């Protein structure tokens, strides 16, 4: 199997068009088409980029020998399994948020909520982060799993710190000012997390 055939097989295994793959690698579609047709050969840096892009070895790409498509299948299976730590950790973080809100909410306005009441739930959230990082590094998952994890979980992790910060702010300002600042802080919450999600989502997409 030639290099061009292997590149084409890898591309199709991911369900990508030539335009999508070329954009991900930072090359033109014409250059990619020439690689697949074996009319030109990628430079060394592009071989390495292809290896990282498809999570295959450079030996697989360069050695002119047939390798079963199960190689690609195993690679895709590994990538799919990388979503398991994200799902587990996100579920734990969400549960921690629910517990923190339930225990901190004593029937009063959030201005009076105490950090000690929310500590257990927030501790569970921290545990969720630790579990993800341990699973991530122990299994050597791709960096894009980190991007996806934080794109999702910044929304869940920043809620309680903001609520408790508003409570502290209420002790320094009068209630009218706090309500005014509350609106600005919630607006900041939406903008900040929106920007973080956009950045990490873009990095996740480019790492595909």
Q: Where would I find the H helices in the chain?
A: 3-13, 18-25, 29-36, 44-54, 58-62, 70-81, 83-104, 115-139, 143-157, 159-172, 175-206
Output 140 or 29, whichever has higher pLDDT.
29
Which stretch of 6-15, 46-55, 108-117, 165-174 has the lowest confidence by average pLDDT?
165-174
Alpha carbon 93 to its chain centroid, in Å, reads 15
Question: What class is the 3-77 domain?
Answer: mainly alpha
The pLDDT of residue 162 is: 87
The tens digit of pLDDT for each residue in 148-204 reads: 999 999 999 999 998 888 777 777 776 556 566 667 778 888 998 999 999 998 888
Mean pLDDT in residue range 114-119? 90
Output 139 or 21, whichever has higher pLDDT.
21
The tens digit of pLDDT for each residue in 53-84 reads: 888 888 888 876 544 455 555 555 555 566 88
Mean pLDDT in residue range 103-115? 82
Mean pLDDT in residue range 83-88? 88
Q: Which residues contact 127 (CB under 8 A, 6 or more apart)?
A: 92, 96
The tens digit of pLDDT for each residue in 14-49 reads: 778 898 899 889 999 999 999 999 999 999 999 999
With 90 as the cut, is the pLDDT of residue 137 above it? no
Distance CA 82, CA 135 (A): 9
Output 51 or 183, whichever has higher pLDDT.
51
Distance CA 29, CA 22 (A): 5
The pLDDT of residue 60 is: 82
CA-angle at 135, arms to 150 and 196, nearest 5°: 5
The pLDDT of residue 66 is: 47
Distance CA 20, CA 199 (A): 19
Mean pLDDT in residue range 88-98? 96
**Residues in the chain, how many?**
208
């Amino acid at each position: 199997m030639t290099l061009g055939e292997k590149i084409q097989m890898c591309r199709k295994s991911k369900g990508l068009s030539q335009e999508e793959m070329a954009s991900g690698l930072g090359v033109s579609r014409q250059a990619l088409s020439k690689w697949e047709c074996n009319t030109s050969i990628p430079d060394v840096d592009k071989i390495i980029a292809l290896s990282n892009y498809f999570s295959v070895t450079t030996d697989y790409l360069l050695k002119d020998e047939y390798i079963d498509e199960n190689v690609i299948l195993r690679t895709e299976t590994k990538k799919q399994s990388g979503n398991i730590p994200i799902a587990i950790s996100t579920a734990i973080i969400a549960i921690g948020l629910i517990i923190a809100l339930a225990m901190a909410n004593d029937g009063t306005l959030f201005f009076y909520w105490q950090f000690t009441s929310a500590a257990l739930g927030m501790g569970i959230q921290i545990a969720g982060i630790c579990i993800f990082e341990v699973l991530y590094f122990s299994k050597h998952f791709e960096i894009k799993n980190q991007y996806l994890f934080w794109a999702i979980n910044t929304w869940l992790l920043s809620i309680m710190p903001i609520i408790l910060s508003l409570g502290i702010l209420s002790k320094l300002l009068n209630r009218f000012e706090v309500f005014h600042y509350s609106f600005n802080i919630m607006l900041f919450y939406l903008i900040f997390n929106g920007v973080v999600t956009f950045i990490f989502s873009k990095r996740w997409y480019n790492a595909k």
